[in-house]
Amino acid sequence: MNEAKFNIAILIDGDNAQAKLIKELIEEVSKYGKATIRRIYGDWTTPHMNSWKETINQFSINPIQKFSYTAGKNSTDSAMIIDAMDILHGNSVDGFCIVSSDSDYTGLAKRIREQGMFVMGIGRKTTPIAFVNSCEIFTFSENLQLEEAEVLEEETPKEPSKSRPARKERPKKIETTEKFPRVNMNIIDKAFDIAINEDEEAHISKLGLALRKIDPSFDPRTYGFKTLTQLLASLRKYEIVRNQVNGLNHPRLKLK
């Protein structure tokens, strides 16, 4: 994607998002394009929205007021959907980011994709799978809080043992108190089969695209790694192959 031309509308459900993560959220969207439209929806007369009031000015987010007409209910979802349709048919953006953990936006995500436009979602890990799979990319908000991964370079002991040659350490996981799940190797294997070339190797970039097609929520940060390359380097079944092109490394993956 060309970020200079790829414009994204960020639509935030204020009842289902965290103000403290807005900086990380916008940075995540910026990986795929330029956030030209930034709107947050909610009932600004309620204490629940107070945490957003300073944040929206700092990050140039336009607040949209929606009153709750019935006790226990809100009109945020319908307002977001109506605005999204207006933006969609206005041809002012190339894609959308829906920030919510609410399954009510499943139909909206499907409709945007049917129009041939990019749609990503950001929400908690409790987000219903139907909404997750309706997006091309879905990022769990918990992953936006993870610290940077610390990766060990190849180290040679000062006095290597004759019986034990120096070996390369596996990448360390991100240091947090959270217990990370095990990597689903079935997904990795399927993506590898899709991305493999005639040399029986797969470019990491193509493998990443294949993983997202199989599972829109696939994210190396879910498993404690900052990048996909670091995650793949930790697997015993595969190994990373350096691939220098014009001075740049475009790593590939192959079976051991």
pLDDT tens digits for 110-159?
A: 999 999 999 999 999 999 999 999 999 999 999 998 644 333 333 334 44
Same domain, 243 and 222: yes
Lowest mean pLDDT among 45-49, 201-205, 233-237: 45-49
The whole-angstrom separation of Cα 129 and Cα 216 is: 10
pLDDT value of position 175? 47
Tokens of 146: 């993870």
pLDDT value of position 157? 40
The whole-angstrom separation of Cα 76 and Cα 71 is: 14
1 is a domain residue: no
The whole-angstrom separation of Cα 129 and Cα 131 is: 5
126 is a domain residue: yes
| Mean pLDDT, range 189-215, rounded to an integer | 94
Same domain, 83 and 57: yes
pLDDT value of position 47? 87
pTM, full prediction: 0.80
Q: Domain limits at 200?
A: 148-256
| Mean pLDDT, range 238-254, rounded to an integer | 84
**What's the Cα-to-Cα distance from 119 to each of 34, 132, 218, 232, 246, rounded to whole Å?**
13, 11, 15, 26, 33
Contact 110, 93 (CB under 8 A): no
Residue at a domain's end among 129, 145, 161: 145
Name the residue with higher pLDDT: 14 or 157.
14
pLDDT value of position 74? 53
User: Residue 77's pLDDT band (boundaries 50, 70, 90)?
Assistant: confident
Q: Give phi and psi for 179, each to the nearest 5.
A: -90, 120
What CATH number did the domain enclosing 152 receive?
A: 3.30.420.610
User: Nearest-5° angle of CA 59, CA 27, CA 119?
Assistant: 100
What CATH number did the domain enclosing 73 receive?
A: 3.40.50.1010
What is the identity of the amino acid at 171? Answer: P
**What's the Cα-to-Cα distance from 69 to each of 43, 72, 76, rounded to whole Å?**
10, 9, 11
Contacts of 216 (CB under 8 A, 6+ apart): 121, 132, 133, 135, 136, 137, 138
Same domain, 118 and 226: no
Counted domains in the chain: 2
| Mean pLDDT, range 202-217, rounded to an integer | 94
2 is a domain residue: no
- Within a 10 A sphere around the Cβ of 107, how many other Cβ atoms? 13
The whole-angstrom separation of Cα 26 and Cα 34 is: 9
**In the block, residue with structure tokens 């997202």:** 212
pLDDT value of position 82? 93
Same domain, 130 and 183: no
pLDDT value of position 161? 46
- Enumerate the β-bridge partners of residue 123: 140
